[in-house]
Structure 1
């Protein structure tokens, strides 16, 4: 039986759709202490996380590979990466959770090479690099202030600070290589390449053979690899990408259902509707109506009212 990897927005919370959360700031002990410092393997559907260990240590699970992380260090966990932590009880440092697609859009405009940093898991030691650590902490603290406040331009400021933080991490990668992973990192590398191919071609509805050929494996091997690492089939990965894009377009564009289905590569509106309902339990129009109603609700908790089913 395939393993089921929990999918959270923040560890211990039910996952939110990728179009809701922009960024969240916490200190590592806030969420880790209640779980006895042991964060079990899970994923975040649409969010990346950046952690900075100032004190303590952690055993880090990244896509089946285990890494020992010792403070000071920086950890970057992209969306849909299976990860878990076993922290020491003296651990301390900030952790930021942010919508990855928004940051990728920003990177595409201001620094395309930053996309590789955003999409690649990393554990970067800062031992002997006090100046680099000092350059990171003001950005984390500024993000904390933005996350706590309600000032105008909060999202714009947060995205700008996050972009600056990712630029610093990209620079660190040129200074020091990430800590080595286990031999199973080869599997993780193939999964990351598969995801990159899906991001590039999901609208074209390519046959699985096309993806497998570019990875140098058979379709059966690709599905087995996805089930082993992600707990889902290769087809599930592609379908999840389509559904995520469809949900975002339904919420953030005024395109008709027919237009939206066409941009996602579906032959007709009815076929797209059946596909969407199969994977979310709702018709596209019903999803759009509920999502917009939740977003426009005067209730302060309105955004929490509607969480559509996920794959």
Structure 2
């Protein structure tokens, strides 16, 4: 990166509490980001689903999620922490992991190191207009090295991947790729070479929800995001998400959220 180049998207360091201000759909509903993220839970506990697998998290858990990875997590009032959003496209440059990583950090020194690394990024961001892309990338590089070093000491309690986990992960990857289309669970099951019943059974076992719920969750998260973060007309959102008509989208959205798209947009 030369001095004249700028990052394709900004670094962000946010309290997890800010992410939850929009309600449970902001955290629990299945979604993905176009950039790598690191979740750092400093207090509380709950459950997190990443790539179709649900597991528990507690205080002092750090979870790295690559771009385009479907995930969602429970978050009640007792949970605190930070989310670090890297710029999109820097995962290769920084040698960030290609797969999700869940670290359960029991050593106080690890907590201190991670807090210092995140604080350094936040301090640079607080410089405002004088923040340096090169400095931010340097701090992010140190964070990626720290992450790599923690991965050399694997979590003995981490579940081993089996056929169930692989199928659930393959399904969520396909959903993430094609949820804008009108594909159904039957279509995804056919692409994966299994029956819809088997696919739903596997998803229930891996993350406690059927395949249809995962698909609906992802579609309606995107619908709510577009309604709150853009000015796209409802009819265009319906079309972008593969619904046959605005009326069908409104009916499905209302059944899923209890509000019409227009009501949701007004209420945030």
The normalised TM-score by structure 2 is: 0.61
Is residue 138 from structure 1 mapped to residue 123 from structure 2 by the alignment? Answer: no
Q: Which residue of 2 aligns with 1:192?
A: 169
Task: Supply the distance in 1 between the matched residues of 2:188 and 2:210 (Cα, whole angstroms).
Answer: 13
Structure 1: unaligned runs, 5 residues or longer: 1-8, 33-38, 46-61, 85-94, 292-311
Contact 2:62 2:104 in 1 (8 A): yes
Relative to structure 1, the CA distance from residue 280 to residue 143 in structure 2 (aligned partners, 3 Å threshold; closer, same or farther) is farther
Task: Supply the distance in 2 between the matched residues of 1:233 and 1:190 (Cα, whole angstroms).
Answer: 13
Relative to structure 1, the CA distance from residue 202 to residue 239 in structure 2 (aligned partners, 3 Å threshold; closer, same or farther) is same
Q: Which residue of 1 aligns with 2:13?
A: none
Q: Which residue of 1 aligns with 2:103?
A: 123
2:71 aligned residue (75, 80, 101):
80
1:265 aligned residue (236, 239, 242):
242
Q: Report SS of the residue matched to 2:83.
A: strand
Bigger drift between 135-144 and 251-260 goes to 135-144
Relative to structure 1, the CA distance from residue 263 to residue 26 in structure 2 (aligned partners, 3 Å threshold; closer, same or farther) is closer
CA apart distance, 1:277: 0.8
Q: How large is the RMSD of aligned CA atoms in angstroms?
A: 4.8
Q: C-alpha offsets along residues 23-55 of structure 1, whole Å, 9 cap, x if unaligned?
A: 999873xx34xxxxxx3x52379xxxxxxxxxx
Q: C-alpha offsets along residues 130-159 of structure 1, whole Å, 9 cap, x if unaligned?
A: 9x9997453223367699x8x858xx99xx
Structure 2: unaligned runs, 5 residues or longer: 1-15, 28-36
CA apart distance, 1:250: 0.9
2:216 aligned residue (223, 239, 244):
239
Contact 1:261 1:268 in 2 (8 A): yes
Relative to structure 1, the CA distance from residue 204 to residue 264 in structure 2 (aligned partners, 3 Å threshold; closer, same or farther) is same
Is residue 18 from structure 1 mapped to residue 40 from structure 2 by the alignment? Answer: no
CA apart distance, 1:97: 3.6
Contact 1:43 1:81 in 2 (8 A): yes
Q: Which residue of 2 aligns with 1:176?
A: 152
The normalised TM-score by structure 1 is: 0.54
Contact 2:181 2:242 in 1 (8 A): yes
Q: Report SS of the residue matched to 2:200.
A: helix
Q: Which has the higher contact order (CA 8 A, sep 6+)?
A: 2
How many residues were matched structurally? 223
